[in-house]
Amino acid sequence: MDSDHTQDIRRRAQAIARHGGIAAAIDAGDLDKQFETSLSEGLVLGLLKQGVRKYLAILGHGSTDLGEVLRLYEAEGVVRTWNFRNEVAMAHAGTALSWQYGEVPAVVTSIGPGGLQAMAGSLAAASNGVGVYHIYGDETTHGEGYNMQQIPKPEQGLYGTLTRTMGESYVMHTPEALRDMLRRGTGRVHHPTKAGPFYVLLPLNTQPQRMHVNLGALPEKLSVPPMIAADEDAFAAAAEAIGTHKRIVIKVGGGGRAAPTQIRDLAEAIGAAVALSPGATGVLPDAHPQNMHVGGSKGSISGNFAMANGDLLIVIGSRGVCQADSSGIGYEQAETVININGDLADVAHYNRTIALQGDLTVTIDKLLAVLDTVDLSQRIDWLNRCAAKKAEWLAFKKDRFETPPLDDPAFGRPLLTQPAALKIVADFAKAHGAVKFFDAGDVQANGFQIVEDEAPGETYTETGASYMGFAVSAVTAGGIADNPQYGIAFTGDGSFMMNPQVLIDAVEHGARGMVVIFDNRRMAAISGLQMAQYGVDYRTNDSVAVDYVQLASAVTGVKAVDGSGDGASLMAALADAKSHDGLSVVHVPVYAGKDERGGMGAYGSWNVGNWCDDVQKRWHSQDI
């Protein structure tokens, strides 16, 4: 027999379901605007007002009351909860759901280790500007003694301190603070230019605590109009700089994904070469003559040439991450910077900057409107030089892709090189309209040099935190999204083993997609770095062979395929895997060794290891 409180929760959930939302149910007189209930139900209702109706959860003793409310609301079709097996993988799936599909979920864990793991996984959301609610159980507030799984230290609010360091958080010590918490939460999760995770700490004893709820007072989802700089002189100065410089390079960061049309219009109007950050592929179509491809520490022949030789740098939507600007020394000849960015710190990252802070789309449109007619003839020589470097890069890539299988010392037989294998799978994804997810490591580093995207959203490469295991976890989001896309995770053997339990989660939640494991039996990205810096690799491989086809086949519902052999064999394996109506895994052993044809190479500088002194000296000698 349900308690009175449970019956009240059911009635409210039923009313919301009947009318399709909280506001409609109130307007119809079927739902009271004010009533007494628990903090747990108040939280679910408050998040529902902001459009959050999907919960990714690993429930424990630190979240039982919240779990009961979710159960009752799911029974009436108002929200839905998906259970997971690992909090890091769950956090990644939540990030992908928000990033790829625009559906902001709430990630729910118990107290202690679960919250710590989810917080670790949330680094990917924080680094890539992706809004997700994280809800963790927390220690009780009456101080009756240690709570199991709290940080064992006689100090208050330690988990709140940890999460506050990662981003923004709120400890629900007082249920009546719900309204303030939700306002701050939407300000972070739905921020127009600097979104990120928001952490809600729910003490065990305040979750069931009774409180007065006024649904009308709970804040809606943050919605603000596009903002633009009001200083006309700044736009005039930017227009003048564009008119007086002859070698213009536009560097597009991850934020540029929101303004591909404007960026293309600007590049064509001013005769600029465009270098992309790893997360910005597709902002300009791959074959566009002014697209110089990726530039930075890994970079490319053409992208790094444009960065190093431009005399005017236009930064759009970039944080200036070390890998994107070669640890600050990628723009050797830049005299002036125009920075178009929504964040104050990012827009002022470089010296000698004309800062145009605001929404990228409206800011670029205004800049285009105030530009005088640009004499593109003065940019012909610059664009021709860039085009020659792009031709050199394309020829280099073609040579790498056509490299025959090389004798691999670990497997003891000829194997496809990673560039050749990545190209085959990337082309397959493109031909089938599949979204590509790249995991951290050598697969990611070679991958963003190889992909040939026509628009943003064709590839998601988690270069913000470079989190191993993100790609395989992201495929699971396809089973949760309202309108799922077929996804292919490009992962190394090391990254896959960070979160292999996603095979179970993906099947459980009905995801359709593919995991391609590029297995070189080592951390090849670090091996290569060690070889480049010290001439020898150290502790980046092991001697344990793993049969990934057999491992994946042990999970009911997964189709596992052997993709070893030559290019034709891999193509056949991909087609076989794609035919499966569910999750498939393709195992592709790839070459790792000293033959330089086994990778795509690196073209920039990076402030790591024994390169630090040189990079830092060069950085201090630059004016920007």
294 burial type by CB count under 10 A (0-12 exposed, 13-18 middle, 19+ buried): buried
Helix (H, G, I), strand (E, B) or coil at 490: strand
In this predicted structure, the answer to whether residue 144 has a pLDDT above a threshold of 70 is: yes
Amino acid 1: pLDDT: 61
Q: Return mean pLDDT, the chain.
A: 96
Closest by CA to 342, choosing from 242, 186, 195, 196, is 195
Q: Is the CA virtual torsion 186, 191, 192, 195 positive or negative?
A: negative
How do residues 93-136 score in pLDDT, each as one tens digit?
A: 999 999 999 999 999 999 999 999 999 999 999 999 999 999 99
Closest by CA to 225, choosing from 201, 189, 192, is 192
Distance in angstroms (rounded) separating the CA atoms of residues 585 and 561: 6
**Cβ proximity of 557 and 583 under 8 Å:** yes
What is the rounded average pLDDT of the residues 25-48? 98
Closest by CA to 400, choosing from 545, 136, 590, is 590
Angle 428-432-433 from CA coordinates, rounded to 5°: 115
User: What is the rounded radius of gyration, in angstroms, for the C-alpha atoms of the chain?
Assistant: 26
- Residue 70 is inside which H or E element, if any? helix 64-75
How do residues 391-416 score in pLDDT, each as one tens digit?
A: 999 999 999 999 999 999 999 999 99
Q: The tokens 């603070």 sit on which residue?
A: 177
SS (H, E, C) 523-547: CHHHHHHHHHHHCCCCCCECCCCCC
How do residues 291-342 score in pLDDT, each as one tens digit?
A: 999 999 999 999 999 999 999 999 999 999 898 999 999 999 999 999 999 9
Alpha helices in 432-523 (DSSP H): 442-450, 470-474, 493-498, 502-508
Strand partners, 313: 249, 337
DSSP string, 164-214: HHHSEEEE-SSGGGHHHHHHHHHHHHT-SSS--EEEEEEETTTSS-EEEEE
In this predicted structure, the answer to whether residue 501 has a pLDDT above a threshold of 70 is: yes
Amino acid 542: pLDDT: 86
In this prediction, residue 190 has a pLDDT band, given cuts at 50, 70 and 90, of: very high
What the chain holds in terms of domains, given with CATH numbers, is 33-217 (3.40.50.970), 232-387 (3.40.50.1220), 402-593 (3.40.50.970)
**Six token digits for residue 203:** 């003490």
